[in-house]
Structure 1
Amino acid sequence: MALPSSHCVLALAFTVAVAAAAALPPSTLASNTAPINCAQVTSSVAPCIPYLTNPGVALLTPGCCNGIRALDAAAQSTADRQNVCQCLKSAVESLPGINYDLASQLPSRCGINAAYTISPTTDCDSVK
């Protein structure tokens, strides 16, 4: 029996992370007392995946923009913004077929001015 390709393994790992994050209570992301973690980030951007992997087929949905806006609102400190940036960077690097141009435009298309660009080349340590 053939082993699954690395793309399938990465997609499966991301799906598991999103499923685990979906089990978090909705108030978890909005909490200002705990740092934002990557499970929360992946859960928030999960509705964006069809749009980012199937340009021209999938549309930018309200669920995607709501997740992007929630991340922006929750990332109040420099450390939070750097952490969200790093989580998003890791997510786009791990998913096969991501359209990086669409990913970089996602915040502005959702009506926010993010402190970083969603891209595998973003230097998240420089985010303020």
Structure 2
Amino acid sequence: MVITGKQKLALLLLFCTVAPAAIMPRAGAVITCGEMYSILYPCVDYIMNGGKVPGECCSGLASLVTSLKTRPDRRAACTCAKAAAGSANPEQLGRAMGLPGKCGVHMPFKISPNVDCSKIK
């Protein structure tokens, strides 16, 4: 499957979610944007078009957040989300920013083009 630029943007913005495939902790490794794209794939359609948030999106988001156990992982995820947020249109950004609330998931950082990822603990 090929992920288009728009889908990557949506995935990152979404930052949020997905598949029951949780990221396994890796000694010393930091989550990559590619891993996030894969995890957030179920959220793409919602971020791009709106509608109902898929359950797979929320479970993926919860899995992603749970996997961000280290400060470097949280900062790396924040950086990926920030980059995507900076390129999103206002509607997509609004949907991505609202996903944690719709899914009942507490994000360790705000999905925003203005977040300072270096301050993430």
TM-score, structure 2 as length reference: 0.73
Q: Does residue 1:99 correspond to 2:92, yes or no?
A: yes
* TM-superposition CA deviations, 1:21-79 (whole Å, max 9, x none): xxxxx56x222422211111111112112111212xx3101111122111101101111
- Retained in 2: the 8 A contact 1:32–1:74? no
Percent identity among equivalent residues? 28
Q: Which runs of 5+ in 1 are unaligned?
A: 1-8, 18-25
Aligned partner of residue 99 in structure 1, secondary structure: helix
TM-score (norm 1): 0.69
Looking at structure 2, the residues matched to 87 and 43 of structure 1 have their Cα atoms a distance apart, in angstroms, of 13
CA distance in 1 between partners of 2:52 and 2:108 (Å):
24
Higher relative contact order (CA 8 A, sep 6+): 2
Asked whether 1:47 is paired with 2:45, we answer no
User: Structure 1's 109 and 62: CA in aligned 2 closer, same or farther, altered over 3 A?
Assistant: same
- Radius of gyration: which is bigger? 1
> Which sections of structure 2, spanning at least 5 residues, go unmatched?
12-20
| Deviates further, 106-115 or 77-86 | 106-115
Number of residue pairs matched? 108
Distance 1:51 1:81 in 2: 24
Query: What CA RMSD, in Å, does the superposition of the two structures yield over aligned residues?
Result: 2.7
